[in-house]
């Protein structure tokens, strides 16, 4: 009886609660309205920065020329650094060496 009174107090939609023609809709609150307004303000600031960039097109052309690296040369250098080092058994077991003198 108690469950019936709880369920029949409000009119529920048929089928899925949040999809379809007769779905439950969230009420607009002040908090959601402020959040939407804040999102729009951030979007407007981003658009302002995109419309008025810091550098002109002439200034920004070629600014990365000095930082450009040949990817094949970079790959060869990393590969040679990684694999050309000679590793000995002593290097592998160095973490076991606590002290030189034995009792």
User: How far is Cα 30 from Cα 24, in angstroms, rounded to an integer?
Assistant: 19
- For the chain, the average pLDDT equals 85
pLDDT value of position 48: 93
pLDDT value of position 47: 95
Tell me the percentage of the chain whose pLDDT exceeds 70: 95
Confidence check: pLDDT of 18 > 60: yes
Does any domain span residue 31? yes
Q: Could you tell me the residue range of the domain that residue 90 belongs to?
A: 12-53+64-96
Contacts for 12 with CB less than 8 Å, ≥ 6 apart: 24
Question: CA distances (Å), 26 to each of 14, 16, 22, 29, 101, in order?
Answer: 17, 15, 13, 9, 76
Does any domain span residue 70? yes
Residue scoring higher pLDDT (72 or 100): 72
Does any domain span residue 72? yes
Q: Where is mean pLDDT largest: 5-19, 39-53, 57-71, 86-100?
A: 39-53
Confidence check: pLDDT of 31 > 90: yes
Does any domain span residue 102? no
Q: 50-93: per-residue pLDDT in tens?
A: 998 888 888 888 877 778 888 898 889 888 888 887 888 888 88
If one counts the domains in the chain, the total is 1
Does any domain span residue 7? no
């Amino acid at each position: 009886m108690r469950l019936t009174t709880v369920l029949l107090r409000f009119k529920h939609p048929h089928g899925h609660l949040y999809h379809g023609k007769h779905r439950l809709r969230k009420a607009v609150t002040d908090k959601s309205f402020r959040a939407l307004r804040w999102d729009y303000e951030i979007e407007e600031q981003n658009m302002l920065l995109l419309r008025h960039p810091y550098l002109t097109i002439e200034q920004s052309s070629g600014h990365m020329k000095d930082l450009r690296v040949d990817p094949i040369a970079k790959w060869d250098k990393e590969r040679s650094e990684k694999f050309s080092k000679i590793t000995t058994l002593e290097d592998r077991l160095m973490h076991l060496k606590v002290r030189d003198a034995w009792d």
